[in-house]
Amino acid sequence: MIATKIIPDFSQPAHIDQVGIEERASRFTKRSIKNETKLNGLKLALNMIDLTTLEGKDTDGKVRQLCYKALHLHDAYPGLPTVAAICVYPSMVNVAKKALGDSGVKVAAVATAFPSGQAPRDVKIRDTKFAVQQGADEIDMVISRGKFLQGEYNFVFDEIATIKEACGDARLKVILETGELVTYDKVRKASDIAMYAGADFIKTSTGKISPAATMPVTLVMLEAIRDFYYKTGKRIAMKPAGGISKSKLALHYLVMLNEVLGEEWMNNHWFRFGASSLANDILMQLMKQRTGVYQSANYFSID
Amino acid sequence: MATKKSNTIKLKFDSARNLSPAPESKSAAKINPQYDLFINGRFEKPLSKKYFATINPANEEKLSEVAEAGNADVNKAVNAARSAYDKTWKKMPGKERAKYIYRIARMIQERAREFAVIETLDGGKPIRESRDFDVPTAANHFFYYAGWADKLEYAFPNRMTQPLGVAGQIIPWNFPLLMAAWKIAPALATGNTVVLKPAETTPLTALKLAEIIQEADLPPGVVNIITGAGATGAAIVNHPDINKIAFTGSTDVGKIIQRAIAGTAKKATLELGGKAANIIFDDAPLDQAVEGVINGIFFNQGHVCCAGSRLYVQESVFKEVVRKLKDRMETLIVGDPLDKNTDIGAINSRQQLNTINDYIKIGQKEGAEMFQSSGNLPRKGFFCKPTIFTNVAQSNRIAQEEIFGPVLAIQSFRTDDEVIEKANNTPFGLSAGVWTDKGSKIFNMTTKLRAGVVWANTFNKFDPTSPFGGYKESGYGREGGLHGLGAYVELV
């Protein structure tokens, strides 16, 4: 029997109602997360973080420092989980890989001419292959938003499929940069294209464009993942990135994840937060849960 | 990765339903052990000497007892309203009336938490709804109509308005405070005085409102709030000195009222039952439509006269919509109404729970296929799982009769004309919903659907500025907005 892959017609419009999706997203924020649910949620959120440094001024030392943080989030609180991954530029993969050793914390590299994606395809492929050769477990690529907005969906699809091939065993995160796509219809369409083209993750943003991740945008993408799962039986992971810096907001995202995709997605294989300052806010909340009082920011390490 | 067959795929939502308890504190709610009748600005012992209990439907415990107004009490209340009308209220300039109504609105806002907790305790609705919907919307109605009180000449250009006199107002148990606001605010703004009777299962927030009215120093007798059951309502309807009846409730009682006032000079507005069609076309934003269906039928346990209790889905997206609906139902939390995470609270009374359960049995007996969400119901109190029926025939009783509970009947359709015909094929005509991305289709549908309110790409949205009311056996007259003023004035 020949397995045929059914790919939808991406020229058809996607139907997302702006008022409706924003109203639904705000309803998750009405859930009141207390006691045990809160404690479990905070630890889970911590364990889902892709601790990120993506700056022109990144150095080996800075990346190593971040890796130590990943492994020792707050030594005053024994038994804490580690973060899920460290997210760096391809040139830093080697350093991060060495620093993390066999800790199980993954190394993710942004590739394909991150963050703009404005480079020829062969450059993007080289960029990806370099990162994989350096030992990256995960590749965060950006889509060509210009081509997408021009309506050249096949170009975008083929590019993702090509990069997926270049990834080998590394898991591919496809960054839609939703802040540049603007409408929810377009976010949905880009999500569908990415998943059918072979994405392992779909990710909201680079963090370089505002707005980055929002709850309604993430909801559109989670619903796309759910519909794709029902159609193909294949699970796709989700990564909102940028703008999630408070524990309370992270808990709202987890409520949303739990109510859209269910408990099988509630782990760091299927969900990540792309964030750098979220970790310390969660640590502060965890210490508050344990000791009953808030500690000042000075008690938590800045790396 | 091995791909599963899509018909075996099922998402798991147990952990989404099992959150740590997050109960709202009861300490904000001061409930007296006994309440008297609010007549002529004072709480007075009933001449009937009778009291009856009101319970919390979530645990069947007694909350308080309230007076049962007999004929003599009704007479006393109507006399108080008449005297207040003649001596003060009808002569008072609109801008002075407005001050009182604004004051009531502000005091509801100030005591919003107390109202929300009592509404939830007495009626069983989730605190999320009483806090975010019932109480703020009630305050908004007072604010809105306060604004009209001194502008009636602009509401009806080139006409003079005269108040009708004493309004007898009888309200239901599904939105106790909000319905009191819907009724009292326009009556006061137009210069009428009021005798209001809340439902016997949910009298407490109306009595709290009476306390506010007393504190607001409204002239005695302008608003009288008396409690009791059907007999008290009948005494109000039949009292010869009442000029207008405003009733919200069942179609059966609406018919009795119409018979009772036939041949009298009493005016009436009746807001009765409904069996709204919610229609999903294949070009609709499906996830938002499903959310609209959830809000349409499970809001307030389905105790909503305009609830979207009949769902029509275009055949090409039928399976997908039902699947999405079932997944969404699995994430609804049914339980303690005071818990801030509860989506579906307690059914208002044992009697109503029995009615709903009877209809669920009837639906199964008539051959429809039932689906209820997983999870357990609390042992005590009156609870019902969210329920949907597929394979429903248009002739099934669950598709024809108002159930007034969290029960949805789903059918499919092929064309626009077919669904218009089916949607209108009911004795009711209160509300309807249309879901499509195509603007022209919305306008075509809204002009052909025989319903007082038609929502497009949303459902169960209310605003004081928007009129509300029905066609056919859903009643007549409009409440809310400019139209709501018209129901309380004589134009000369």
Same structural domain, B99 and B232: yes
For residue A131, how many other CB atoms are within 10 A of its CB? 30
- Assigned domain for B43 exists: yes
Residue type, A199: A
CA-nearest residue to A258 within chain B is B16
pLDDT in tens, A143-179: 999 999 999 999 999 999 999 999 999 999 999 999 9
Using a CB–CB cutoff of 8 Å, tell me whether A259 touches chain B. yes
Q: With CB atoms and an 8 Å threshold, state whether A15 touches B283.
A: yes
Q: With CB atoms and an 8 Å threshold, state whether B20 touches A38.
A: yes
- Please choose, from the candidates A154, A148, A143, A151, the residue with its C-alpha nearest in 3D space to the C-alpha of residue A177: A143
- Assigned domain for B467 exists: no
Using a CB–CB cutoff of 8 Å, tell me whether A22 touches chain B. no
φ, ψ for residue A143, nearest 5 deg: -85, 160
Contact list in A for residue B458 (CB cut-off 8 A) is 19-20
Cα first-last separation, chain B: 79
Q: Which of A97, A106, A189, A203 is catalytic?
A: A203
Spatial distance between the Cα atoms of A228 and B329, rounded to a whole number of angstroms: 20
Decide the pairing of beta strands A171-175 and A201-203.
parallel
pLDDT (0 to 100) of residue A6: 77
- Assigned domain for B463 exists: no
**CATH number assigned to the domain comprising residue B34:** 3.40.605.10
C-beta of residue B447 within 8 angstroms of C-beta of residue B469: no
Spatial distance between the Cα atoms of A282 and A39, rounded to a whole number of angstroms: 10
The three state secondary structure string of A203-239 is: ECCCCCCCCCCCHHHHHHHHHHHHHHHHHHCCCCEEE
Minimal Cα–Cα distance from A216 to chain B, Å? Answer: 12
Minimal Cα–Cα distance from A302 to chain B, Å? Answer: 32
Q: Which of B24, B129, B200, B271 is catalytic?
A: B271
Q: With CB atoms and an 8 Å threshold, state whether B292 touches A229.
A: no
C-beta of residue B117 within 8 angstroms of C-beta of residue B258: no
The pLDDT > 90 percentage for chain B reads: 97
Same structural domain, B141 and B204: yes
B271 in catalytic set: yes
Question: What is the mean pLDDT of the segment spanning B101-130?
Answer: 98
Using a CB–CB cutoff of 8 Å, tell me whether A8 touches chain B. no
The pLDDT > 70 percentage for chain B reads: 99
CATH number of A33-288: 3.20.20.70
Using a CB–CB cutoff of 8 Å, tell me whether A185 touches chain B. no
B199's tokens: 């439902």
Contact list in B for residue A230 (CB cut-off 8 A) is 6, 9, 323
Out of A226, A230, A258, the one facing B16 most closely (by C-beta) is A258
How many cross-chain Cβ pairs, A to B, lie less than 8 Å apart? 93
Same structural domain, B138 and B257: yes
Same structural domain, B354 and B396: yes
Contact list in B for residue A31 (CB cut-off 8 A) is 19, 340-341
- Assigned domain for B465 exists: no
Beta-bridge mates of residue B434: B279, B456
Q: Which of B200, B305, B330, B479 is catalytic?
A: B305
Out of B4, B21, B341, the one facing A233 most closely (by C-beta) is B4
Out of A20, A38, A259, the one facing B457 most closely (by C-beta) is A20
- For chain A, domain boundaries: 33-288
Q: With CB atoms and an 8 Å threshold, state whether A232 touches B340.
A: no
Using a CB–CB cutoff of 8 Å, tell me whether A23 touches chain B. yes
Same structural domain, B402 and B426: yes
Spatial distance between the Cα atoms of B386 and B76, rounded to a whole number of angstroms: 44
Beta-bridge mates of residue B311: B278, B410
* Domain total in chain B: 2
Disruptive mutation site among B282, B288, B333 for chain A (greatest number of A CBs within 10 Å): B288
Contact list in B for residue A229 (CB cut-off 8 A) is 9, 11
Using a CB–CB cutoff of 8 Å, tell me whether A62 touches chain B. no
Same structural domain, B242 and B359: no
- Please choose, from the candidates B398, B414, B315, B323, the residue with its C-alpha nearest in 3D space to the C-alpha of residue B358: B398
pLDDT in tens, B133-144: 999 999 999 999
For residue A10, how many other CB atoms are within 10 A of its CB? 17
Spatial distance between the Cα atoms of A293 and A281, rounded to a whole number of angstroms: 14
Out of A35, A231, A258, the one facing B6 most closely (by C-beta) is A231
- ipTM of the complex as predicted: 0.95
Minimal Cα–Cα distance from B349 to chain A, Å? Answer: 27
The pLDDT > 70 percentage for chain A reads: 98
Minimal Cα–Cα distance from A25 to chain B, Å? Answer: 11
A269's tokens: 């294989």
Contact list in A for residue B132 (CB cut-off 8 A) is 30
Contact list in A for residue B1 (CB cut-off 8 A) is 234-235
Same structural domain, B188 and B318: no
Same structural domain, B30 and B146: yes
Same structural domain, B115 and B75: yes
Out of B1, B5, B458, the one facing A234 most closely (by C-beta) is B1
Q: With CB atoms and an 8 Å threshold, state whether B3 touches A234.
A: yes
pLDDT in tens, A217-233: 999 999 999 999 999 99
Q: Tell me which residues of chain B have a C-beta less than 8 Å from any C-beta of chain A.
A: 1, 3-6, 9, 11-16, 19-22, 128, 132, 283-289, 291-292, 323, 327, 331, 340-341, 437, 457-458
Spatial distance between the Cα atoms of A13 and A15, rounded to a whole number of angstroms: 6
pLDDT (0 to 100) of residue A1: 44
Beta-bridge mates of residue B23: B339
Q: Which of A140, A192, A200, A281 is catalytic?
A: A140
- Please choose, from the candidates B153, B201, B185, the residue with its C-alpha nearest in 3D space to the C-alpha of residue B351: B201
pLDDT in tens, B35-92: 999 999 999 999 999 999 999 999 999 999 999 999 999 999 999 999 999 999 999 9
Same structural domain, B328 and B477: no
Cis geometry, peptide bond prior to residue A211 (ω within 30 degrees of 0): yes
Contact list in B for residue A234 (CB cut-off 8 A) is 1, 3
C-beta of residue B394 within 8 angstroms of C-beta of residue B368: no
Spatial distance between the Cα atoms of A105 and A80, rounded to a whole number of angstroms: 14
- Among the residue ranges B7-21, B58-72, B231-245, B280-294, the one predicted with the least confidence is B7-21
Whether residue A262 has pLDDT greater than 50: yes
Q: What pTM, to 2 d.p., does this model score?
A: 0.96
- Assigned domain for B16 exists: no
Q: With CB atoms and an 8 Å threshold, state whether B5 touches A233.
A: yes
Contact list in B for residue A35 (CB cut-off 8 A) is 20-21
Spatial distance between the Cα atoms of B121 and B61, rounded to a whole number of angstroms: 10
Same structural domain, B30 and B120: yes
Q: With CB atoms and an 8 Å threshold, state whether A263 touches B15.
A: yes
Contact list in B for residue A20 (CB cut-off 8 A) is 285, 287-289, 291-292, 457-458
Using a CB–CB cutoff of 8 Å, tell me whether A29 touches chain B. no
Q: With CB atoms and an 8 Å threshold, state whether A261 touches B1.
A: no
A83's tokens: 């973060």
B284's tokens: 């609709």
Q: Which pLDDT band, with edges at 50, 70 and 90, does A7 fall under?
A: confident
pLDDT (0 to 100) of residue A2: 52
A140 in catalytic set: yes
- Please choose, from the candidates A148, A150, A229, A158, the residue with its C-alpha nearest in 3D space to the C-alpha of residue A187: A148
Whether residue B341 has pLDDT greater than 70: yes
The three state secondary structure string of chain A is: CCCCCCCCCCCCCCCCCHHHHHHHHHHHCCCCCCHHHHHHHHHHHHHCEEEECCCCCCCHHHHHHHHHHHHCCCCCCCCCCCCCEEEECHHHHHHHHHHHCCCCCEEEEECCCCCCCCCCHHHHHHHHHHHHHCCCCEEEEECCHHHHHCCCHHHHHHHHHHHHHHHCCCEEEEECCHHHHCCHHHHHHHHHHHHHHCCCEEECCCCCCCCCCCHHHHHHHHHHHHHHHHHHCCCCEEECECCCCCHHHHHHHHHHHHHHCCHHHCCCCCECEEECCHHHHHHHHHHHHHHCCCCCHHHCCCC
Residue type, B214: Q
C-beta of residue B289 within 8 angstroms of C-beta of residue B323: no
B370's tokens: 């039932």
Spatial distance between the Cα atoms of B145 and B136, rounded to a whole number of angstroms: 14
Question: What is the mean pLDDT of the segment spanning B5-30?
Answer: 88
Minimal Cα–Cα distance from A69 to chain B, Å? Answer: 31
Whether residue B2 has pLDDT greater than 80: no
**Edge-to-edge strand list for the sheet holding B42-44:** B42-44, B37-39, B223-225, B193-197, B166-170, B244-248, B267-271, B475-476
Question: What is the mean pLDDT of the segment spanning B153-171?
Answer: 96
pLDDT (0 to 100) of residue B296: 98
In sequence order, the 6+-apart residues with CB closer than 8 A to the CB of B23 are: B336, B338, B339, B340
A129 in catalytic set: no
- Among the residue ranges A3-12, B89-98, B344-353, B410-419, the one predicted with the least confidence is A3-12
- Assigned domain for B6 exists: no
- Please choose, from the candidates B132, B122, B117, the residue with its C-alpha nearest in 3D space to the C-alpha of residue B25: B117
Which residues 162-181 of A are in CB contact (within 8 Å) with B? Answer: none
CA B397 to chain centroid, in Å, comes to 23
Q: With CB atoms and an 8 Å threshold, state whether B128 touches A30.
A: yes
- Please choose, from the candidates B347, B462, B365, the residue with its C-alpha nearest in 3D space to the C-alpha of residue B404: B347
The three state secondary structure string of chain B is: CCCCCHHHCCCCCHHHHCCCCCECCHHHCCCCCEECEEECCEEECCCCCCEEEEEECCCCEEEEEEECCCHHHHHHHHHHHHHHHHHHHCCCCHHHHHHHHHHHHHHHHHCHHHHHHHHHHHHCCCHHHHHHHHHHHHHHHHHHHHHHCCCHHHHCCCCCEEECCEEEEECCCCCHHHHHHHHHHHHHHCCCEEEEECCCCCCHHHHHHHHHHHHCCCCCCCEEECCCCHHHHHHHHHCCCCCEEEEECCHHHHHHHHHHHCCCCCEEEEECCCCCEEEECCCCCHHHHHHHHHHHHHHHHHCCCCCCCEEEEEHHHHHHHHHHHHHHHHCCCECCCCECCCCECCCCCHHHHHHHHHHHHHHHHCCCEEEECCCCCCCCCCCCCCEEEECCCCCCHHHHCCCCCCEEEEEEECCHHHHHHHHHCCCCCCEEEEECCCHHHHHHHHHHCCCCEEEECCCCCCCCCCCECCCHHHEECCECHHHHHHCCEEEC
pLDDT (0 to 100) of residue A126: 98
For residue B230, how many other CB atoms are within 10 A of its CB? 12
Same structural domain, B268 and B321: no
Using a CB–CB cutoff of 8 Å, tell me whether A20 touches chain B. yes
φ, ψ for residue B139, nearest 5 deg: -60, -40
pLDDT in tens, A106-140: 999 999 999 999 999 999 999 999 999 999 999 99
Contact list in A for residue B284 (CB cut-off 8 A) is 15
C-beta of residue A261 within 8 angstroms of C-beta of residue A223: no
B272's tokens: 């009765």
Minimal Cα–Cα distance from A19 to chain B, Å? Answer: 9
Minimal Cα–Cα distance from B12 to chain A, Å? Answer: 5
> Crossing angle for the helix pair A35-47 and A247-260, nearest 10 degrees?
90
Q: Which pLDDT band, with edges at 50, 70 and 90, does A4 fall under?
A: low
- Domain encompassing residue B116: 26-272+472-491
Disruptive mutation site among A4, A5, A15 for chain B (greatest number of B CBs within 10 Å): A15
pLDDT (0 to 100) of residue B52: 98
